[in-house]
Amino acid sequence: MKFSRYFALAKAETTQFLRNKTLLSMGLIFPIGIGLISQQLAQGGEDRLVAATSMEVFFLITLMFVQYYSVLSMATTRRDERVLKRLRTGEARDGEIMLAISTPGVLLSVILTALMIAVLAVQAGEMPNSTLLLFVGLALGLVISTALAFLTSRMTSNAEAAQMTSLPVMVLAMLSQSPLLAILPERAREILEFTPFALIGQVSFIDWAGAPLTELTSGGEIAEGFAVFGAAGIQIAALAVWAVVLSGLSVRFMKWETNR
């Protein structure tokens, strides 16, 4: 990959992203807003658990609306406008094009995550056990949501249809929240806990609370400091597998030709 070529493509995609008022408003308002609303709804509990729940909701909303939906919309629109086809006939490589499309959402997600950590740290009166773990989870989550966006784009005829084709992934993400998983039957919970977004939510929750919510409610051991990396080891390993598999599939099945 030639960095200067990728940088030029990423700059162009970022400019287009900033001009899209719908994607920009969804990216700026939804994650922080819903994260703070969930915090207000959870008030009355222990500060660290409230922060853990808010951060998890923020993570899932960010990955859905800032990264997944923006990449899906942009990839589908560029394909319909035959931009992707023109780029492929030039010097740009497939990986450079896909990375460029994903760049605006990645940058905004990192900035919003840093802001949300600061807000929750002030309100909770303490930092997460290891902020690094949050960013590891975010990085893997961005890879997974980006890959899912490209795969969904293959089944999306145009930008308007993205509202429908994205629903299964978004519903799965919303069902992956720890408070919802905790009340599901054990068999259903065991299956959903190893889906990508449930794993991402658990990593976020562990960094703030020291253990997954299901273990906290059953009196499990609480990790502190960098010991949270050990507590989240299984989740990180499973996320890495998901990231590799979905990335490979997205490159293999990326659709470059328009339906027109």
> Considering only CA atoms, which of 138, 170, 148 is closest in space to residue 245?
148
Could you tell me what percentage of the chain is helix, strand and coil, using 3-state DSSP and rounding each to the nearest 5?
80, 0, 20
The Cα 215–Cα 238 span in angstroms is 18
Select the more confidently predicted residue: 180 or 113. 113
Angle at CA 216, nearest 5°, toward 212 and 218? 120
pLDDT at position 31: 76
pTM for this structure? 0.92
**Which region among 103-107, 153-157, 208-212 has the lowest average model confidence (pLDDT)?**
208-212
pLDDT per residue as tens digits for the range 79-112: 988 888 888 887 888 889 999 999 999 999 999 9
pLDDT at 169 over 60: yes
Q: Quickly state the pLDDT bin for 43 (edges 50, 70, 90).
A: low
Rounded Cα distance between 260 and 250, Å, is: 22
pLDDT of residue 49: 80
Reported as a single tens digit per residue, the pLDDT across 44-82 is: 556 678 888 888 888 888 999 899 999 999 999 999 888
Q: Spell out the domain ranges in the chain.
A: 3-253
Query: Residue 129 class from Cβ within 10 Å (0-12 exposed, 13-18 middle, 19+ buried)?
Result: buried
Task: Tell me how crowded residue 158 is: count the other CB atoms within 10 A of its CB.
Answer: 13
What does the H/E/C string look like for 101-150? HHHHHHHHHHHHHHHHHHHHHHHHCCCCCCHHHHHHHHHHHHHHHHHHHH
Contacts 24+ apart (CB under 8 A), 256-259: 256/79, 256/84, 256/85, 256/88, 256/94, 257/79, 257/85, 258/79, 258/80, 258/81, 258/82, 258/85, 259/80, 259/157, 259/158
Q: How confident is the model at residue 252 (pLDDT cuts 50, 70, 90)?
A: very high
C-alpha to C-alpha distance for 191 and 42, rounded to whole angstroms = 26
